[in-house]
């Protein structure tokens, strides 16, 4: 058991955190989506310890976080001309931000990072502390969400400490994450452009860029079902149970249905869109609040969480993706 330090966001603290990372330690840091658990991308032993600290299956690859577009050349091979133009256009439109793009992996990147895959996932976080930290280390950082594998992703430093205290060297406390769910992950290397994980950057936004570059719209990866030959394979991480609290998660289509379910499943925490939330019996359901609320259910002893998925929630593909996974018994 190691003592996990909690750092503020001062320049001095960032330097201390960078020093820990340079010496092979793991440090959690804020990004605009969720907190990430950082290690130097070229430090294979530190990368391996990330999987141990999180209890993460070793076949689930990590995202490499870069502070500058120029860093890409250190981890990825060049693209052909039309794909490079598409990458440049996506970068221009959404980066830095909540978009992760697969690129051909350079052999310098340890296999542990990509779980042996030929592709490497790259993201440019918009959070200034994340950028400062990567600059201070002088090398891109791998960073999965800084939670115990399978539990909801952390959107505050307290969530990180709850899951990983004693297992990592430090966390930088940058307050609550603005976006609240993980980045959109896309594969532009295959013939059809695919969304491997939906996020706050939507298919509509991505399609505008793809079409302007002469490509077909993106497809959602749906996973291979029995007998289905042409389905696009999911991202390795998408097959695991995710985002689930210990409390049982039930879905309702209206507040009335949720109230009814609550009477037979008490004590229950009800989450619904902010216009229904009263802060007493009904709490807010949004991208920003979902993971914190799922964690709150456990920390406050609720046996059940009831999520009101009305039409508007169902139209939010990224939010529904996380809700379905939290509710899945798999
Ligand atoms: O917003 C985010 O993306 C956060 C913050 C910290 O940046 N990170 C994050 O990392 O969510 P993680 O490890 O929890 O999720 C990474 C996802 C997994 O589903 C993984 O399978 C997928 O990205 N992934 C990573 N590399 C891949 C690759 N080469 N091919 C396909 N999927 C990949
Ligand atoms: Mg994760």
pLDDT in tens, 49-83: 999 999 999 999 999 999 999 999 999 999 999 99
The Cα–Cα gap between 196 and 100 comes to 10
pLDDT of 225 higher than 50: no
What's the confidence (pLDDT) of residue 326?
A: 93
Cis peptide upstream of residue 209 (ω within 30 degrees of 0)? no
100 lines ligand 1 (CB under 6 A): yes
pLDDT of 119 higher than 50: yes
pLDDT band for position 227 (50/70/90)?
very low
Whether the CB-CB separation of 320 and 313 falls below 8 Å is answered with: yes
238 lines ligand 1 (CB under 6 A): yes
Please give the number of the atom of ligand 1 that sits closest to the Cα of 114. 29
Backbone φ and ψ of 135, nearest 5°: -60, -45
Q: What is the pTM assigned to this prediction?
A: 0.95
The percentage of residues in the chain with a pLDDT greater than 70, rounded to a whole number, is 94
Please give the number of the atom of ligand 1 that sits closest to the Cα of 37. 6
Tell me the residues surrounding ligand 2 (ion) with CB < 5 Å: 145
Least confidently predicted of 24-38, 168-182, 274-288: 274-288
Out of 41, 50, 121, mutate this one to test ligand 1's pocket (max ligand atoms within 8 Å of CB): namely 121
Distance of CA 93 to the CA centre of its chain: 20
The Cα–Cα gap between 13 and 241 comes to 35
Residue 181, CA distances (Å) to 131, 166, 254, 273 in order: 19, 25, 23, 16
Residue 314, CA distances (Å) to 2, 54, 171, 173, 272 in order: 43, 30, 34, 32, 12
pLDDT band for position 84 (50/70/90)?
very high
Residue 249, CA distances (Å) to 72, 146, 180, 181 in order: 40, 22, 19, 18
> What is the DSSP-derived secondary structure letter of residue 66?
-
| Ligand found nearest the CA of 29 | 1
pLDDT of 232 higher than 70: no
Tokens 């939330």 locate to: 277
What's the confidence (pLDDT) of residue 233?
A: 52
Average pLDDT, the chain: 94
pLDDT band for position 243 (50/70/90)?
confident
The Cα–Cα gap between 53 and 265 comes to 34
pLDDT of 229 higher than 60: no
């Amino acid at each position: 058991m190691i003592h996990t330090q909690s750092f503020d966001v001062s320049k001095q603290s960032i330097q201390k955190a960078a020093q820990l990372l340079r010496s092979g330690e793991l440090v959690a840091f804020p990004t605009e989506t969720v907190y990430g658990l950082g290690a130097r991308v070229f430090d294979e032993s530190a990368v391996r310890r990330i999987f141990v600290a999180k209890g993460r299956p070793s076949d689930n690859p990590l995202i490499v976080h870069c502070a500058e577009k120029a860093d890409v050349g250190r981890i990825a091979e060049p693209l052909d001309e039309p794909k490079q133009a598409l990458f440049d256009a996506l970068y221009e439109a959404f980066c830095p931000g909540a978009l992760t793009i697969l690129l051909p992996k350079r052999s310098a990147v340890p296999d542990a990072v990509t779980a042996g895959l030929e592709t490497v996932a790259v993201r440019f976080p918009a959070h200034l502390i994340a950028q400062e930290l990567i600059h201070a280390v002088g090398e891109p950082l791998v960073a999965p969400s800084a939670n115990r594998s399978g539990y909801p992703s952390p959107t505050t430093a307290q969530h990180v400490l709850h899951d990983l205290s004693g297992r990592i060297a430090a966390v930088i406390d940058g307050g609550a994450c603005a976006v609240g769910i993980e980045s959109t992950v896309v594969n532009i290397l295959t013939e059809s452009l695919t969304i491997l994980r939906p996020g706050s950057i939507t298919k509509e936004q991505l399609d505008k860029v793809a079409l302007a570059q002469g490509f077909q719209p993106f497809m959602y990866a749906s996973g291979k079902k029995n007998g289905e030959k042409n389905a696009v394979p999911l991202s390795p991480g998408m097959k695991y149970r995710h985002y689930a609290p210990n409390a049982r998660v039930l879905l309702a289509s209206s507040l009335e249905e949720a109230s009814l379910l609550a009477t037979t499943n008490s004590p229950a925490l009800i989450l619904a869109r902010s216009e229904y939330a009263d802060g007493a019996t009904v709490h807010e359901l949004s991208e920003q609040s979902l993971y914190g609320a799922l964690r709150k259910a456990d920390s406050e002893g609720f046996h059940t969480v009831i999520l009101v998925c009305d039409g508007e929630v169902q139209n939010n593909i990224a939010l529904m993706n996380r809700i379905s996974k939290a509710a899945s018994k798999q």
